[in-house]
Structure 1
Amino acid sequence: MRKLLLFLLVSIALPALAQNGKKVYADFHGVRYTRQHDGKLGRWEMYANTEKSSTGRKSLCYNADLIDSEGRHEIAAVAYPQVGMQSNLDPDYIEYQILSAKAAKIDGFFIEWGFKPHENDILLREMQKVAAKYDFEIGVNWCDGWLYYDWITKIYPEVNTREAKTEYMAKCYQYLVDSVFTGPTAPMVKGMPVFYHFGPGAKVDEYKKVLSQVKFPQGMKQPVALRRWADWGKLENDKYTPVTRSDDMDAWKKVGEIPTAWLPARVRTRDQAHAEWDNYATQDDVIEFMKPFRDSIWHSNNPAYTIKSGFAMPGMDNRGCAGWGRGHFYYIPRNNGETYQSMWKFCMAEKDSLDMMFIASWSDYTEGHEIEPTIENGDRELRTTLKYAAEFKGEQADERGLTLPLMLFRLRKEARFLEKTKMDVSACQRSLDKAALLISQGRYPVAIGLLSQIENDVKTAKSALAVEMMRLRESDMKIQGKRKLGGYSAEETLSISLPKELVSKLQMNNYVGYLYFEYLDKGNESLFIRSSTQREPKEPFKIVSRIRTDNTGEWKSAKVELYKDNIVNGFNMPTFYLKGNVVVRNLSLGYTIYTVK
């Protein structure tokens, strides 16, 4: 086997580099967390009042800690990730996303970023670490509106005026110049750093002041800013008419920003066929929206348009957030992938005029325009991206790489599970590292062979595990709390203690555990489940789950995963504490305990 692998490594040439210098980037939306990795959930959860919506839907209530009968978390999205609910800061997940994007000929991610030290800056830096290993680029979609809200003031109270925020924006731009627009992961098109400027923070005069304070390294060209232009337009005689120019955009062009598309306008109002949304667009509307960019930017001879970018998005369904709490539901149909294909086709008809393509987005599950593989859509959007990105760059499309990052990710998680079960998996992890590099280099046949070998090794290792399954009913646990409505009230803390024999097994061995119960969905309350923890910082990691009620008046089933790394199972103390103005009943615990034979 080793001789065969060596032969393949030597005999298969590296894939050809980009033939024409054109680039493809995707917007990256975050931050999404998990209890296991971070002790919190981020954008995976959402609660919002939507009474302003014309749909009649009064609220959103996505409790991402809860797991349904199919094993899926109740995430704030209409589509579910193919790899399940993961943390954006998990290096394994970052690796999966980067390698999946590379396999589709995407050159980099533009992280939605507002300022330092916002949480998205942590995401940016974690992304850069992994991207550097795989020749991938990490840039920003600069949402400077975040800086001009009160978000920065909550961190730095002295930054509380527009003048102070503009001064701080200059520092943020300098940080981007020093840390993002230079270095091995800098996004570069035609030798120039590039970023997407979402806005809507600084005004033009304020932005001029920001630019005047930034110092560029010797020899560095000023980064090219692609300015979001997504004016609404209007509907006349059932035909969408886009905006072809605006005073605001003309002002931004004068400071060097280049108009670039974002999500197409949704000007059509709710009707019988679109009863779940306040506004929507059709596939034809999407193409009409793009025509002013073709006519006034891509076809222009204006030398100020140094980088001309096309744009594509797969569709939109923001029932995960309803306009981030503004109570507005938007929809653009995916049409089984046809909408995304139509946008690529429109841009490829003008490919000779374009320097790059920008995709929105890789990961905005909440607004429902992600292209990352999902249960519902599979990897359809990645296959479309690969097809047209290869055409755009003048390269060959190789679909063999699209499934390998998922295989790699699952094997990494299997190996980490075996490691926690006290098995030596160091050789397996080294092989997985090699496989990741092979995927990154486009050496797919060799990667497939190596991953298949690792898969067999993992199966062999798992066969050496003894598995014990245990289920505890209420009578098997010590529950202390106030009885109510045939169950227990958690208004005053409700505690659960485990049998000592079980505690001993859980402390000594690896396990997968779940807490099951029913709760009365009444009012708008929060039910916290906590445990003692040894992880730092303790405050987030001691939270096992948080459940928001949505006032349906129904008894709802709950299943919550119990992570060994986070939970201290105590001998002479309760393991779980439930607190909140919520009634629960039918509590039970399920454990699958793994030991080496």
Structure 2
Amino acid sequence: MRISLHWLVVFAASLLAATARAEPPPAVAKTNPLPVYMHYMPWFDAPAAPVGDGWGHHWTMRNRDPNVIDSNGRRQIASHYYPKIGPYASSDPHVIEYHLLLMKLAGVDGVLINWYGEQGTNGDVAQLLKNSNAIVERVGKYGLKFAVVFEDRFAANLGQAQANMRYLREHYFQRPEYIRYGKQQRPLVLVFGPITFQKPAEWDAIVAEAGEPLTLLTLPYESAEAGANASGEFQWIWEDETKDNAIEVLADFLKNRAPQLKTVCGVAYPGFNDYYEEGGDGAVVPFEIAHDDGQTLARTLELANKHRDELAMLQLATWNDFGEGTMFEPTAETGFDYLAQVQKFTGVPHNEADLEIAYRLYEARQRHAGDAAKTESLDRVAKLLNALKTSEARVLLDEIETP
């Protein structure tokens, strides 16, 4: 009897400790109340462990080879910009940790995953779902939320689109981290289009598989194609190249279109400089929006702030579309500049030096991958960063990295 009581006490103590560990991480304090979400591409693959799926098309396109390394140690990739950590796999847990910590320290509230579903005509749909789920499984750990940008263009038929919506209902919507909007707290789903299904009756059939009404947003001026299922629209990156009018396009929508809509998601972005022609993909986008040393991002953020009352939320486009050159993710060319601008916009009590800790943590994990003791210490750094104890995280990381 005494032994049983002993183990009962041990079990109770362990349970209390586990409960304490399971407490959600603190939210970042922000002076700007506008919800800010990051558009996220889950489509990158790499041959290195622990993933080992080979270099994917989004690093190679048709004529780039990341196995070719230049004199600066950079791999040959299909982009005008080079990720600060080099090309990576989207399902790598250390990459996801790095990305989500950076977003949290910048005041981003969640990710909008560019989502292809479980069925579709694109050949890597299974890998895309695997990568998406790797992110979904981790966002809550960092106190972030998520939703999807539903790609209907690759559904071969209505049945595939319905199956993908059922997947959301069965695997995503019931998660506490899924973004719900409005008084009725309906799941947020952005539709990149519609492109394949442009009739309200088709969207009646697709949305029926959600099992509940949605906050469904389409691209600008396309909500009528989803009929009564659409709650509004979200802005995106576009301009008439002959007029060089990217900012005017956004401003005109906010002034003339937004007042007609129930729900509007704005957009801010650093520029658009795609690699499709150079990469041999053949898809030539008819415009380019210069990054202009960060001024394009500054102007789009300023516009969002000016029209904040018309916006339900703001989407940052994009975290990591290297092929189109729209990245907020730190690169060799832009450093942490874009995230530093986001920090000022959201009004967080963090700065570029704090972002640098997340980068140093990722690099240290690569250097000490086989060292169990160092890995355990680096896990503590990650927990401190997630708890927003940046000074303590920096001190500990300095100790670990001391030669």
Q: Same fold (TM over 0.5)?
A: yes
Q: Does 1:347 align with 2:304?
A: yes
How far apart are the structure 2 equivalents of 1:28 and 1:324? 21
TM-superposed deviation, 1:146: 1.4
TM-superposed deviation, 1:355: 2.3
Q: Does 1:292 align with 2:292?
A: no
How far apart are the structure 2 equivalents of 1:368 and 1:185? 29
How far apart are the structure 2 equivalents of 1:15 and 1:260? 26
TM-superposed deviation, 1:376: 0.7
Deviations 1:95-130 (A, max 9, x none): 111111111111222221122052221111111222
1:265–1:166 distance in 2 versus 1, CA, 3 Å: same
TM-superposed deviation, 1:39: 3.7
1:14–1:449 distance in 2 versus 1, CA, 3 Å: farther
2:301 alignment partner AA: W
- Taking the TM superposition and a 5 Å limit, the aligned residue runs for 1:303-318 are 305=262, 307-318=263-274
- Taking the TM superposition and a 5 Å limit, the aligned residue runs for 1:66-215 are 66-116=68-118, 118=125, 119-148=127-156, 165-190=157-182, 191-199=185-193, 200-204=195-199, 205-215=201-211
SS at match of 1:120: helix
1:444 alignment partner AA: T
TM-superposed deviation, 1:297: 4.5
Contact 2:207 2:229 in 1 (8 A): no
2:331 alignment partner AA: T
Contact 1:127 1:138 in 2 (8 A): no
Which of 218, 241, 261 is 1:227 aligned to? Answer: 218
Gaps of 5+ in 1: 1-12, 48-60, 149-164, 217-221, 230-245, 269-280, 420-424, 460-597
Which has the higher mean CA deviation after the structures are superposed, 200-209 or 91-100?
A: 200-209
Deviations 1:439-470 (A, max 9, x none): 122221111111111212xx3xxxxxxxxxxx
Contact 1:166 1:210 in 2 (8 A): yes
2:143 alignment partner AA: D
How far apart are the structure 1 equivalents of 2:248 and 2:28? 36
1:206 alignment partner AA: E
Contact 2:271 2:326 in 1 (8 A): yes
1:287 alignment partner AA: I
Deviations 1:301-329 (A, max 9, x none): x5xx1x42211111111124569432456
TM-score by length of 1: 0.58
Which of 48, 52, 65 is 1:63 aligned to? Answer: 65
Contact 2:46 2:54 in 1 (8 A): yes
Deviations 1:401-445 (A, max 9, x none): 2111101101111110xx1xxxxx333222212211221222211
- Taking the TM superposition and a 5 Å limit, the aligned residue runs for 1:376-387 are 376-387=333-344
Match of 2:16 in 1: none
Deviations 1:65-89 (A, max 9, x none): 2111111111000000111111111
- Taking the TM superposition and a 5 Å limit, the aligned residue runs for 1:268-417 are 268=242, 282=244, 285-300=245-260, 305=262, 307-320=263-276, 324-328=281-285, 330-390=287-347, 396-416=349-369
1:33–1:363 distance in 2 versus 1, CA, 3 Å: same
Contact 1:27 1:112 in 2 (8 A): yes
1:40 alignment partner AA: G
SS at match of 2:188: strand
SS at match of 1:34: coil
Runs of 4+ in structure 1 off by over 3 angstroms are 13-22, 188-192, 248-254, 296-300, 320-324, 327-330, 395-400
How far apart are the structure 2 equivalents of 1:260 and 1:405? 31
Deviations 1:29-79 (A, max 9, x none): 2411112232411110011xxxxxxxxxxxxx2122211111111100000
1:16–1:77 distance in 2 versus 1, CA, 3 Å: closer
- Taking the TM superposition and a 5 Å limit, the aligned residue runs for 1:367-516 are 367-390=324-347, 396-416=349-369, 419=370, 425-456=371-402, 459=403
Match of 1:463 in 2: none
How far apart are the structure 2 equivalents of 1:436 and 1:426? 15
1:321–1:397 distance in 2 versus 1, CA, 3 Å: farther
1:253–1:321 distance in 2 versus 1, CA, 3 Å: farther
Which has the larger helix fraction?
2
Gaps of 5+ in 2: 1-24, 120-124
TM-superposed deviation, 1:345: 0.1
1:64–1:341 distance in 2 versus 1, CA, 3 Å: same
Match of 1:261 in 2: 235
TM-superposed deviation, 1:14: 5.6
How far apart are the structure 2 equivalents of 1:400 and 1:309? 30
How far apart are the structure 2 equivalents of 1:262 and 1:29? 15
Match of 1:492 in 2: none
Size of the aligned set, in residue pairs, is 365
SS at match of 2:107: coil
TM-superposed deviation, 1:169: 1.5
Q: CA RMSD in A?
A: 2.4
SS at match of 1:141: strand
TM-superposed deviation, 1:352: 2.7
How far apart are the structure 1 equivalents of 2:149 and 2:76? 28
How far apart are the structure 1 equivalents of 2:84 and 2:356? 11
Deviations 1:317-364 (A, max 9, x none): 112456943245641100000001100001101213322110110000
How far apart are the structure 2 equivalents of 1:128 and 1:374? 24
Q: Does 1:28 align with 2:29?
A: no
1:104 alignment partner AA: A
SS at match of 1:109: strand
Match of 1:592 in 2: none
TM-superposed deviation, 1:384: 0.9
TM-superposed deviation, 1:386: 1.3
How far apart are the structure 1 equivalents of 2:351 and 2:180? 24
- More contact order relative to length (CA 8 Å, sep ≥ 6): 2
Contact 2:258 2:264 in 1 (8 A): yes
How far apart are the structure 2 equivalents of 1:377 and 1:167? 43
2:378 alignment partner AA: L
Contact 1:113 1:140 in 2 (8 A): yes
Tell which structure's C-alpha radius of gyration is larger. Answer: 1
